[in-house]
A and B are shown apart, each in its own frame.
Chain A
């Protein structure tokens, strides 16, 4: 009986780690995907899109399995609600990343010249925000007293993303082109930045859950 419980706990810990690995991996795929699109590397973009699709699918499966096990064996009754909420919002980061790359794939926006670096930087900042939130979530499970060390990075990158998005939108609307394209590109700026917003959502929850765990 104790060995069974030991194995079950070890498997579940591994699943949570795998889930967080998947989210971190999705952040990197998103960054590469945006860079590929900006550089016009269509083949690589397609490969990265397929990879992020798999990651999103894998994260969903893992999350559902973890949730099922937490309920079935009534584990961490005090923190279960918090952990489930945390996993779901973390999963939203992957969903948003996949959704944004999907928009690039389907709508193929025509990027304006002279703004490639801005697009790449916006994508990279969104990825950094997601990576920082993955580290914070890992810390929540293993060492809640260090969560805040990671959270301040999430907030920093998210703010940086907002600033970059604002600057890029200004550049787009300052450019000499038709309004339809400007509005189309604005949608993309917002969607890339939404990855950072999704990560911030996770960070906000983490801040509260950490207080609950450490008080």
Chain B
């Protein structure tokens, strides 16, 4: 019951995403009366749910890296702060991006919990805020030129053109909804993934839903509810604000947006590109609003840029800057209230120590250990406090300090046979990996890397491969397996740290 209460903020966020972002997919089609609202809502709901469950894992993982929120209370407040930001800004008539609100709220949690923000993941996400609209604009211009050429070559009757545009809008809208579900479910439910208590569910006909997929299904249904209950208003008004669109332009905008969302969400595409040695785009939840605006501006510029209302564009850009800041602030204040007024746990207690084993480990990682010995023996409750100490006492750079902090984390991992049988299942893990874990039954570890080092020694199936583009897929999978085994075998909360 409590789980459902905590999840409610994610569902609220899903609802607001459905209400706002579904309008990005079908708004222009419904606004221009090419498709009825009932048809649009049905297609959008079905494909959003499908996309969330079948393709949601890729983009959701990146938010998990940005800030691995480790308590339900924290996840609740992060989603709630993001949802409140979106709702308030929408009510004020300011354009808003769900992705930015969520990222801002996660950083708020990181500040509050003293967790280091993963700079690599953050820069990856922020870079997409710039790349996504540019890419959408370029795609829109390209698709428009191609569509126009095709129309001039085929010379269809106005009515055939109308019918083809309708069907294309439905097909592209379905694709857009799938991409929206696959990409943006990470925004809605991503923060709950590390803390959700759902276990795998076996369904008839050999189907199975992982815990994350069950979360994504719930989120997808919340988005669908948002589509049905509130998106009608937004759909009616979207599109015409920035630049007047014809049905063909609307089609091109939706197509460009869907392709961009798909590029940033598709694990299969990433696999395909990497397997032939090509670079792939990062799998990151991007903003459908940004993609739509990028596409519309791209079309406007293609048409000479005369019809674009630049004032509206400036307002939108201002919204992109303020959204993450507001969400970050709200999350920080909300977490403070939740923890201190309602006594709800918003993060798991952590402990960090610079023991001789940790320093040996740091040395094995190839990092400089000068100055670490002087800091040995100290214990810390947050990543930030240890990071501060390292900054003062060593010459390590920011990335190196991040790695030392991760190595110094203290926890308790117990290889319990019952949990191994329950959570380390074939399908997710290879037989050699399961055998290696089982052979360590009864052993206990103080650091996650100690368990992983032993597993690596037992079988190469647990080792990471050399970092080459071709190995990236296998390494991604192994990283996931390594995270899963640590989550599964982490036993009791760590004992309270004594010194700072």
Q: Which residues of A contact B (CB under 8 A)?
A: 2, 5-6, 9, 12-13, 16, 74-79, 83, 140-143, 145, 215
A142-B155 in contact (CB<8A)? yes
CB of A113 to closest CB in B, whole Å: 50
B residues 20-52 touching A (CB-CB < 8 Å): 32-34
CA distance A149 to B32 in the complex (A): 31
**A83 nearest in chain B by CB position:** B158
> Within 8 Å CB of A142, what residues of B?
155-158
CB distance from A149 to the nearest CB of B (A): 14
Which residues from A are CB-within-8-Å of B33? 74, 77
The interface residues of chain B lying within 8 Å CB-to-CB of A13 are: 157, 159-160
Interface residues as binary, B165-187 with A (CB distance below 8 Å gives 1, 0 otherwise): 00100000000000000000000
Closest-CB distance, B140 to chain A (whole angstroms): 17
Pair A143/B155 contact, Cβ less than 8 Å: yes
**Most B-side CB within 10 Å, residue of A13, A74, A78:** A78
Query: Could you tell me if A141 and B157 are in contact, using CB atoms closer than 8 angstroms?
Result: yes
Query: Given A78-B32, A78-B247, do A9 and B159 touch, yes or no (CB 8 Å)?
Result: yes
CA A83 to CA B156, docked complex, whole Å? 16
What distance in Å separates the Cβ of B12 from its nearest Cβ neighbour in chain A? 35
Tell me if B157 and A2 are in contact (CB < 8 A). no
B163 at interface (Cβ–Cβ under 8 A)? yes
A77 engages B157 (CB within 8 Å): no
User: Taking the complex as formed, is B162 at the interface, i.e. its CB lies under 8 A from any CB of chain A?
Assistant: yes
B32 contacts A5, C-beta separation under 8 Å: no
Would you give the 0/1 interface string for B241-253, flagging 1 where the beta carbon is closer than 8 Å to chain A? 0000011000000
Tell me whether A145 and B167 are in contact (CB under 8 A). no
B311 contact set on A, CB distance < 8 A = none
Q: Is B443 an interface residue (CB 8 A)?
A: no
Q: Is B388 an interface residue (CB 8 A)?
A: no
Neighbouring A residues of B364 by C-beta, 8 Å: none
| B307 nearest in chain A by CB position | A215
Which B residues are CB-close (under 8 A) to A140?
158
Instruction: Kindly state the separation between the CA atoms of A78 and B34 in the bound complex, as whole angstroms.
Output: 9
The answer on a CB contact under 8 Å between A9 and B155 is no
B152:A76 contact, CB within 8 angstroms: no
20 additional contacts, CB 8 Å, given A2-B167, A75-B162, A142-B157? A6-B163, A9-B162, A9-B163, A12-B159, A16-B159, A76-B158, A76-B159, A76-B162, A77-B32, A77-B34, A78-B246, A78-B247, A79-B158, A83-B158, A140-B158, A141-B158, A142-B156, A142-B158, A143-B155, A145-B152
Give min CB distance, A102 to chain B, whole Å: 33
Interface residues of B (CB under 8 A from A): 32-34, 152, 155-160, 162-163, 167, 246-247, 303
When distances are taken between beta carbons in the complex, the residues of chain B under 8 Å from A141 are: 157-159
Closest residue of B by beta carbon distance from A74: B33
14 A-B residue pairs with Cβ-Cβ distance under 8 Å, sorted by A, are A5-B163, A6-B163, A9-B163, A13-B159, A13-B160, A16-B159, A76-B158, A76-B162, A77-B247, A78-B32, A141-B158, A141-B159, A142-B156, A142-B158
- Please give, as numbers and ranges, the residues of chain B lying within 8 Å of A76 by CB-CB distance: 158-159, 162
The closest CB in chain A to the CB of B250 belongs to A78
6 tightest Cβ-Cβ pairs between the two chains A and B:
A77-B33, A143-B155, A76-B162, A141-B158, A9-B163, A13-B157
The minimal Cβ–Cβ distance linking A66 to chain B, given in whole angstroms, is 10
- Quote the shortest CB–CB distance from A29 to chain B (angstroms): 27
Once the chains are docked, how many angstroms separate the CA of A167 from the CA of B156? 44
Task: List A contacts of B34 (CB < 8 A).
Answer: 77
When distances are taken between beta carbons in the complex, the residues of chain A under 8 Å from B160 are 9, 13
Chain A CB within 10 A, most for which of B33, B162, B167, B246: B162
CB distance from B252 to the nearest CB of A (A): 14
Which residues of B have CB within 8 Å of A2? 167
CB-based nearest B residue for A139: B155
Expressed in whole angstroms, the Cα–Cα distance for A36 and B115 within the complex equals 98
Residues of chain A within 8 A of B156, CB atoms compared = 142
User: Given the complex of chains A and B, what is the CA–CA distance between A161 and B233 in angstroms?
Assistant: 54
Residues of B within 8 A of A12 (CB): 159
What distance in Å separates the Cβ of B244 from its nearest Cβ neighbour in chain A?
10
Write the nearest CB–CB distance from A47 to chain B, whole angstroms. Answer: 34
Specify which of A75, A77, A143, A145 is in contact with B159 (CB 8 Å cutoff). Answer: A75
Chain A's nearest CB lies how many Å from the CB of B217? 28
Cα–Cα, bound, A215→B304 (Å): 11
Q: Which residue of B lies closest to A69 (CB)?
A: B159
Q: Which residues of B contact A74 (CB under 8 A)?
A: 33
Residues from chain B with a CB closer than 8 A to the CB of A79 are 158
- In the complex, A78 Cα to B160 Cα: how many Å? 14
Q: How far is the CA of A12 from the CA of B157 in the complex (A)?
A: 11
The distance from the CB of A81 to the nearest CB of chain B, in whole angstroms, is 12
* CA of A143 to CA of B155, assembled, Å: 6
In the bound assembly, the distance between CA atoms of A141 and B159 in angstroms comes to 8
B368 → A minimal CB distance (Å): 65
Q: What is the bound-complex CA distance between A215 and B246, given in angstroms?
A: 10
Q: Across the two chains, which residue of chain B brings its CB closest to A138? A: B157
Residues of chain A within 8 A of B152, CB atoms compared:
145
What is the minimal beta-carbon distance from B394 to any residue of chain A, in angstroms?
Answer: 65
